[in-house]
Structure formats: C-alpha cells, structure tokens
Amino acid sequence: MNRRSFLKSFAGLSLAMAGAQLAIPTVAKCKMIAPATDLVGKTFLDQRIKNDISRLKKEKPYLRIGETHCHSLFSDGTYSVDKIMARAARLGLDFLVITEHVQPRMYPLERTLESIKERARCCREWSHPGLEPIDVYPAFEVSTLQGHLILVTDQAYLKPGNLRDLRTQFSPLDHKMISMEDIAKMVQPFGGISIIAHPEKNRAYPFGVSIDFAKQHLTGLVDGIEDISTGHGYEENYSEELGMASIGSSDDHFNLIIGTTVTGYDSRKHNNLLSAVKARDTQAIKVNDSLDDILGMARLVL
C-alpha cells in the first residue's frame, strides 16, 4: 500500500468514527481501527521504520535504541505482548518497555503483573525463528493526581517469584490515586526509574503533568520526561529545562507506530536503559515521520 492510498482509507474511517465519537468507547474505537493499522504496518510502515533504524545503527553502532511507552491487550492496547515483542525485534529495536495502565476501578495492578509475566514467558519461550529475543523490562503507567507517570523496574522483577514484592508495594494504587511525588519514590527501592508521560497534555482527568508543577516538585526526584512523542504529536526539550533524562516514545496502542520515536543511549557507557536514565544520559530520537500528517486526525477520534 502506498502512502496516498493509506491516507485516503484512514481519513474515511476517521471521519466516520468522528461522527459517532461520543457514543463509541475508546476501546471499541481501537478495535475498529486495528485491522487498518495492521494492514498499513505490514504493507507501508514497517519497512520504512526498519530501514531508518538500520541506517541509524550503521552511523552509530554503539547506540542502543528502544520503545519506552506502549500498551498491549492487558490494558487498552489492541495486540498481544508476544506480537508487540516480535514486531519490535523485527524492526531492529534493542529494548522494549510495555507500560500497561494502572488506575483505580479501571486498570487493576494484577493485569499489569500478568503482562509482566507474559513478557518473561515470551523471552523464555521465544518462538520467532531468525529473530533475537528483544530486551524487555517490568514497567507500567500509573495515573497519579497530577498526571501519568511511567515506572520501570530492574529486570530482576521479571522473575515470577519477585512479582509479589511489586504487588505488595503497589497494591494501594488499586484503591486510590496518589501524588506523582509519592509514586516516584515508590519505585526507587526496586532499582527503578520514573518517567513523566506526555507532559502538558490536558484531558478531563489528570493526564499530562504541567511543566510548572514538575519544576516545583519533581526535579531531582523523577528521572526522565518524554521530550518527543509520536502518539501525542510534539517535539520539545523539557529534559534540559528540568535536568531530567530525555525520553522519546510512541504511546502506541495499535502495534503500529512503535519505533517511530525512540530513546537511545551509549552502550559503551551504560549496560542497560536504567543506568542511562539515572545518569540523565539518554536522547529522544525521531526515527520516522511517515504518518505524522494523519496522526493529528486520529487524535480527534481516539
């Protein structure tokens, strides 16, 4: 499928959904769009992303890059953990951070723990010949009183026996929303990091924390901030202003735009993502902008 054909078909679907957007729940909208996104990934976007990543790695062979914000069927995504991991590996990414939602009365912590178990299982039982298993992390996206915060823990917590520690520490999140400051402190005993997701993005509920709040309360506490987001359509330099690690991500729910914006770090200096983020030594990288023209349209209906 060429770019023009996809733009026409996606525009028609988006306009139809726009007329019914008040009546159709977000999850249902995601399911409606999934067949189209699957088609465009396979026929249009994947090879472009793969080529761009290959070119980037050829220029900087020491660079490790990956996706730091996406969702699977365990929260509000439309694809399985296995399919997301396989596609990320196929595109040439080095690591993948799946960030299921945790929110009282909507997204229970137990679903995230099941997602983490599934990531570990997929690594153990890798069933994609010709592809190396991709590096994954235990992670989730918490709804706090001020907005969304991504937590990523040490990979030791991929082991089933260690999940009970995560359950004990974060079980209060099933019952009430907590301040972003307190949530950031909760991940530290697990060797983890915290990342501000889509700052300054406003919704009817706490979604993206304001930069003013971050300056006053989160500097020196939160480790990173999303400077570039494909899914939310912005490119900023918040990290320099706040003294945090620069993060690039997609916030993908369709297994489509993973890899279009990534976080990179120098493997000569850091042996994993957590080390690089804690050192404030990462960079947000826009890899591919092929769908930028139509993502704005999609944001109107999702």
CATH number at residue 280: 3.20.20.140
Is residue 23 included in any domain, yes or no?
no
Is residue 44 included in any domain, yes or no?
no
248 is in which domain, residue-wise? Answer: 61-289
Is residue 50 included in any domain, yes or no?
no
pLDDT tens for 173-204 read 999 999 999 999 999 999 999 999 999 999 98
pLDDT of residue 17: 41
Asked if residue 219 has pLDDT above 80, the reply is yes
Is residue 25 included in any domain, yes or no?
no
pLDDT tens for 40-96 read 666 679 999 999 999 999 999 999 999 999 999 999 999 999 999 999 999 999 999
Prediction pTM value = 0.90
Asked if residue 32 has pLDDT above 90, the reply is no
pLDDT of residue 34: 62
Is residue 7 included in any domain, yes or no?
no
Band of pLDDT at residue 18, cut at 50, 70 and 90: very low
pLDDT tens for 120-168 read 999 999 999 999 999 999 999 999 999 999 999 999 999 989 999 999 9
36 versus 248: the higher-pLDDT residue is 248
Asked if residue 301 has pLDDT above 90, the reply is no
DSSP of the chain: --HHHHHHHHHHHHHHHHHTTTTS-HHHHHHHHHHHHHHHIIIIIHHHHHHHHHHHHHH-TTEEEEEEEE--TTTT-SS-HHHHHHHHHHHT-SEEEE-EEEBTTTB-HHHHHHHHHHHHHHHHT---TTSPPPEE--EEEEE-SSSEEEEE--GGGGSGGGHHHHHHHHGGGGT----HHHHHHHHGGGT-EEEE-STT---SSS-S--HHHHHHHTTTTS-EEEEEETTTTEE--HHHHHT-EEEEE--BSSSSSTTSEEEEEETTT-SSHHHHHHTT--EEEE---TTHHHHHHHHTT-
Is residue 76 included in any domain, yes or no?
yes
Is residue 180 included in any domain, yes or no?
yes
Is residue 113 included in any domain, yes or no?
yes
pLDDT of residue 44: 79
Over range 237-259, report the average pLDDT.
Answer: 97
pLDDT of residue 204: 86
Total count of domains within the chain? 1
